[in-house]
Amino acid sequence: MTTTSSTPPSVAPFHFERDALRAVGASSEAGSLGCLARCLAEVAHALRVQADHPEAPADLAGVFVDIEGALGDLAAAVEQSAHAVIDNDRPPGARVSQAPTAAARAVSWRLHGLAHALHASREICPAIQGASRELARAQQARRGSALADMHLHRQPLGPSR
């Protein structure tokens, strides 16, 4: 990816990206964005299926640490795509000041809106993490209290022989 005034510099890919491409048999040059999007869709579907069977709240907090990171990466990717749409709409050698087509502006505008929504979703994750940890502590305290009550009820009331 070339860097222009409207395109943020690209970052080095994570080892996971290479592993994901290798796992689906794709090269990093040909169709990787589409391939990665399909992998993302499959993972999102698997998460939806597992959501009916939530883990313990403390584990759920850890899950949302990962989801927070994923949403941040998705927001950055969408933002980069919005800039790339504009950059790629200009003819080769055109000045940056040359206005892009209305269609490119419309796509870019919608991508910026999506990036904003992803950032907003990401910002909610720490609150979910904290609430999940608090719920886990409350459930653990209730279980501890219930165990203490069970212990008291099992003790013999009269003298033991």
Which of the pair, 73 or 153, is modelled with greater confidence? 73
pLDDT at 143: 84
Kindly report which listed range (22-26, 46-50, 81-85, 127-131) carries the lowest average pLDDT score: 22-26
Helix, strand, coil content of the chain in percent (nearest 5): 70, 0, 30
pLDDT at 156: 56
Banded model confidence at residue 82, pLDDT cuts 50, 70, 90: very high
Banded model confidence at residue 59, pLDDT cuts 50, 70, 90: confident
Banded model confidence at residue 2, pLDDT cuts 50, 70, 90: very low
* Residue percentage of the chain with pLDDT more than 70: 68
Q: Which DSSP category does 64 fall into?
A: H
pLDDT for 130-147, tens place per residue?
A: 999 999 899 889 888 766
pLDDT at 144: 80
Banded model confidence at residue 9, pLDDT cuts 50, 70, 90: very low
pLDDT at 125: 96
d(CA 114, CA 106) in angstroms, rounded, equals 12
φ and ψ at residue 52, rounded to 5 degrees: -70, -15
pLDDT at 92: 84
**Angle, helices 15-23/32-50, rounded to nearest 10 degrees:** 90
- Given a cut of 90, whether residue 113 has pLDDT beyond it is yes
pLDDT at 81: 97
